[in-house]
Amino acid sequence: MNALATLPLDPQTLRADFPILATTIHDNVPLVYLDNAATTQRPRQVIQTIVDTYERRYANVHRGIHWLSDQSTDLFEEAREGVRAFINAPAREEVIFTHGTTESINLVARSWGDANVRAGDEIVLTVMEHHSNLVPWQQLAARTGCTLRHIPITDDGELILDEFDKLLSPRTRLVALASVSNVLGTINPVEEIVRRAHSAGALVLVDAAQSAAHMPTDVQRWNADFVAFSGHKMLAPSGVGVLWGRRELLDAMPPFLGGGSMIRRVKVDSFEPADLPAKFEAGTPPIVPAIGLGAAIDYINAVGLANIHAYEDVLTRRAHTVLAEVGGVRIVGPALEKKAGIVSFTVEGVHAHDVAQLLDRQGIAVRAGHHCTMPLHKRLGITATARASFYFYNTLDEINLLGRALADAKHVFRRR
Ligand code: PLP
């Protein structure tokens, strides 16, 4: 049988939709883009939607009583409906457009946090969180006097659920965790965490930045209270993100930012906030990025999240095999069955930045450093890792090339 026929999707056909993937860099070396956890690339369909909107249907939204504004508003609200369906949210009003995961989490920490968290309360995070899901809570702790607790991980990068149980108490107000770690690739047991948190009376915020484009997000199945993610990690333009929240929570929360659009009425000394979702969308929102996100979701739906997840598993397995063959490579993170398409590693005797630089010379884009997870790296006892992260347009040949390039890089360093 043709090898391709056994794959869950055909990456070559899909690659043709991504102009940037045909780029050659340096001295005519083909680009091998393995930095998808930082940001994905955009297909023509998304780029064309952006161009069409600016060329024919762009005006400010919800403002003008004119044709063009209605057109733009319709596209913007269609995108919101697209997001609602994509995450199986009960209502469109619960989908708030922000500028990214970072802003979505800050919105909850500021708005819900300041109104509900007091000195003596506790927020439970995990050791593997991105700084975006650590710093806003540290700032909340500084404002309110609440205490932060952290679920520890095993040496393989899995959450220790028994320890989580010990952290939960009537003082716990919120548990905030990533659905997928941006370094370890660990797929966390969100539903189980939510079940345990809810039985202790705590809410749960899920940072879905690394899972939204790769596996289904079903806010009702998760039974979470808030879910945050970014457009640019899922084929959409940068500058748009999403916060989904349970309606009763969002209704009770004060606005985050003040300004135009988020009000029903303003007097010189007071204001009345608008209804959802406008209450949390002060000022001109990221109109075209949000419309682009709608197009990106259409594209992802057409490829199919189940196919994407299954194909990334094939790529990740191959990556583990080729990295093991290089020798002296330590992959951080759990067993393959428990991880997404993110492979972070160290190479014996070579700093991660040097690894990334040597790979770059061969056209391979990976990220190196702490990936905004300093506490996780401290826990792992390392200062930096190199990270290869995959999407459906990557190929097995690219992964093989990564292995060969790493073997070359090791060789270069041995000679020095
Ligand atoms: N959370 C996780 C797990 C991430 O990987 C990232 C980005 O890498 C973020 C949050 C922050 O996303 P953004 O920079 O789009 O706000």
d(CA 12, CA 262): 45
Q: Which parts of 226-271 fold into alpha helices (H)?
A: 247-252
- Are 327 and 295 in the same domain? no
Residue 15, Cα to own-chain centre: how many angstroms?
Answer: 22
Strands 342-347 and 385-389: antiparallel
* Ligand 1 closest atom vs CA 103: 16
* Ligand 1 closest atom vs CA 232: 15
CB distance 36 to ligand 1 below 6 Å: no
Contact 37, 367 (CB under 8 A): yes
d(CA 307, CA 313): 10
d(CA 186, CA 337): 9
C-alpha closest to that of 349 among 376, 329, 374: 329
d(CA 343, CA 332): 7
Half-sphere exposure of 311 (CA within 13 A, CB side): 26
Nearest C-alpha to atom 8 of ligand 1 is from which residue? 38
Q: How many CB atoms lie within 10 A of CB 209?
A: 27
Please provide residue 346's backbone torsions phi and psi, each rounded to the nearest 5 degrees. Answer: -120, 155
Distances in whole angstroms, Cα of residue 279 to Cα of each of 101, 157, 372, 374: 18, 39, 30, 34
pLDDT score, position 3? 53
pLDDT score, position 1? 44
| CATH number, residue 312 | 3.90.1150.10
Q: How many CB atoms lie within 10 A of CB 24?
A: 10
pLDDT score, position 27? 86
134 Cα–ligand 1 center, Å: 11
Strands 203-207 and 172-178: parallel
| CATH number, residue 287 | 3.40.640.10
CB distance 230 to ligand 1 below 6 Å: yes
C-alpha closest to that of 120 among 150, 148, 146, 149: 146
- Are 395 and 279 in the same domain? no
C-alpha closest to that of 279 among 305, 300, 258: 258
Residue 356 covered by a domain? yes
Give me the DSSP letters along 19-72.
Answer: GGGG-EETTTEEPEE-BTTT-----HHHHHHHHHHHHHS-S-SSS-SSHHHHHH
Residue 39 covered by a domain? no
Distances in whole angstroms, Cα of residue 280 to Cα of each of 253, 329, 365: 10, 46, 36
CB distance 106 to ligand 1 below 6 Å: no
Task: Select from 99, 126, 131, 182 the residue to mutate for testing ligand 1; criterion: most ligand atoms less than 8 Å from CB.
Answer: 182
Helix (H) or strand (E) holding 387: strand 385-389
What's the domain range around 149?
47-302
Please provide residue 386's backbone torsions phi and psi, each rounded to the nearest 5 degrees. Answer: -95, 145
Residue 40 covered by a domain? no
CB distance 101 to ligand 1 below 6 Å: yes
Contact 341, 183 (CB under 8 A): no
- Are 296 and 308 in the same domain? no
Beta strands in 184-340 (DSSP E): 203-207, 226-230, 241-245, 263-267, 270-273, 329-332
Over residues 290-309, the pLDDT tens digits come to: 999 999 999 999 999 999 99
- Are 60 and 103 in the same domain? yes
Indicate the pTM of the whole model: 0.97
CB distance 73 to ligand 1 below 6 Å: no
Please count the structural domains in the chain. Answer: 2
- Are 290 and 330 in the same domain? no
pLDDT score, position 2? 52
371 SS3 class: coil
Residues in the chain: 416
- Are 254 and 291 in the same domain? yes
- Out of 302, 327, 354, a domain closes at 302
Residue 36 covered by a domain? no
**Catalytic annotation, residues:** 372
CB distance 172 to ligand 1 below 6 Å: no
Q: Which residues of the chain have pLDDT under 50?
A: 1
pLDDT score, position 136? 98
Residue 127 covered by a domain? yes
- Out of 284, 302, 320, a domain closes at 302
- Are 63 and 164 in the same domain? yes
37 Cα–ligand 1 center, Å: 9
pLDDT score, position 127? 98
Residue 277 covered by a domain? yes
Starting at the edge strand found earlier in the chain, the sheet holding 203-207 runs 95-98, 241-245, 226-230, 203-207, 172-178, 122-126, 147-151
In one-letter notation, the amino acid at residue 75 is L
- Are 258 and 182 in the same domain? yes
Helix (H) or strand (E) holding 172: strand 172-178
- Are 155 and 88 in the same domain? yes
- Are 120 and 208 in the same domain? yes
CB distance 49 to ligand 1 below 6 Å: no
Q: How many CB atoms lie within 10 A of CB 302?
A: 9
- Are 325 and 259 in the same domain? no
Nearest C-alpha to atom 4 of ligand 1 is from which residue? 209
103 Cα–ligand 1 center, Å: 10
136 Cα–ligand 1 center, Å: 13
- Out of 249, 276, 302, a domain closes at 302
- Are 109 and 52 in the same domain? yes
* Ligand 1 closest atom vs CA 129: 3
Over residues 254-297, the pLDDT tens digits come to: 999 999 999 999 999 999 999 999 999 999 999 999 999 999 99
Residue 42 covered by a domain? no
Peptide bond into 277 cis (omega under 30): yes
Residue 138 covered by a domain? yes
CB distance 182 to ligand 1 below 6 Å: yes
38 Cα–ligand 1 center, Å: 8
